[in-house]
A and B are shown apart, each in its own frame.
Chain A
């Protein structure tokens, strides 16, 4: 079966529309790119699109109620919403240091979710 996939290259502001033609899961033709970056991007984006997922996790007894986090490496695009469910259920305790692993190996991707900001303990008044 033949299929055409339109992919917008994010390599530069031009945003070339690259068409990847696929037959039986094999790429048979790529067109629309204007530089090598575009071709490479389109192949990766067709075969295995991945994204870094930034979000926040609830904090107990912290100076702020949330700590910002990110996946330490890109994870498959198809898992973004599922990963959000895992992140939403998590709660951590202050203090937290930037780089701390807050969720290990999220959804068995081999990627950790790490803190991106220091959060001190709540100041008691």
Chain B
């Protein structure tokens, strides 16, 4: 088995595959160290779902790295995969060995995601230094040991933006504002309170940057309020002086290798299509973690990668059995996407399929409902759903009949007085 990427997804997939009987596993990692993005996420808040305790990023990574060190899994760092094809042949570049070619019987794609850049969102103006992604600033500040600037404006109020606002402030920078184009912050409430409110850092909702200025180094950014269609409102513009602009404007699954294999990408997730085993449309090739869809919690990444790792082991040990009918899982009301998109194997000892989904708009007092031919299969009440937080629901194996070919997932307002009370 070959795993591409030694972040939380790659490590969890490899460990789970070994636990399920595979003994020839190698992980290819392009960075100098393993753990992916976790070592630079020095803040706490990880692991509540997976370990039931609150850890920092490096500590969460260490829990898995410990197991990896006592396993027989081989890890090649400073190894950049250049190409993968549909015959599972991999070409990679290793710092010492030069170009290497390996062929796997099964492959797990665990390349993670990368940040959207200034070019992605097209901010007009000069091209000075001092404009960087929040994650890059995080690496400089927390791993490499230098501050990227002194007067900071942050565009985007996702969790990375909020975390970096606090981090820069604690390290002595003047964080002038966090700007968010949406009418709400997409980050966790806790991060908004503990990263901005604690330090009186202003959050300007429905604001964006319309211009940046500076010859060598960034001097100032022009900020404007936006209307409902996200267009800047004339007369609301103001200049804010700063030497640094951090962008926290979304993440994109890193799927160049996936595309090279001839796999199609899902228009919403940006990842490939997978069945319940996280298997792609090429048999024996799996994808898990942020390369498949961007997660808000690393805990779900670990869980998802374990599904892939276990399935890869079962695949090579001939333990899997295809269903007669493939079942499609399709998004219904207020569901943007689901993972997986199909169910292709029999359940065997599995009691349920856990479906991950994201909602389009915030809603309160809802039901997450699985529907087959307009009939409810099963539903679960939820107090609140938000676009920033992944929703999960279990589809019980016992309720899935052999003739079902498509199950829809909807998030609907609870109706009727009796429905709400129990």
Contacts and interface: CB of A to CB of B under 8 A. Distances in A.
Q: What DSSP secondary structure best describes chain B's contact surface?
A: helix
B384 A13 contact: yes
A101 B142 CA distance: 19
Interface in A27-54: 51-54
Contacts of B383: 12, 14
Nearest to B44: A52
A118 B65 CA distance: 11
B62 A118 contact: yes
A81 B143 CA distance: 21
Contacts of A66: 142-145
Given A10-B193, A13-B389, A51-B198, A81 B170 contact: yes
A58 B171 CA distance: 13
Q: How many of chain B's residues touch chain A, expressed as a range? A: 20 to 34
Interface string A60-80: 000011101110000001001
B75 to A, nearest CB: 16
B6 to A, nearest CB: 15
Contacts of A116: 42, 56, 58-59
Interface string A17-32: 0000000000000000
B145 A65 contact: yes
B314 to A, nearest CB: 34
23 contacts: A10-B190, A13-B389, A14-B189, A14-B364, A14-B383, A15-B189, A51-B194, A52-B44, A56-B42, A56-B142, A56-B145, A64-B143, A64-B144, A66-B143, A68-B58, A70-B42, A70-B44, A80-B198, A81-B170, A84-B171, A116-B56, A117-B39, A117-B59
A106 interface: no
Contacts of B388: 13
B386 interface: yes
Interface in B35-74: 39, 42-44, 54, 56-59, 62
A92 interface: no
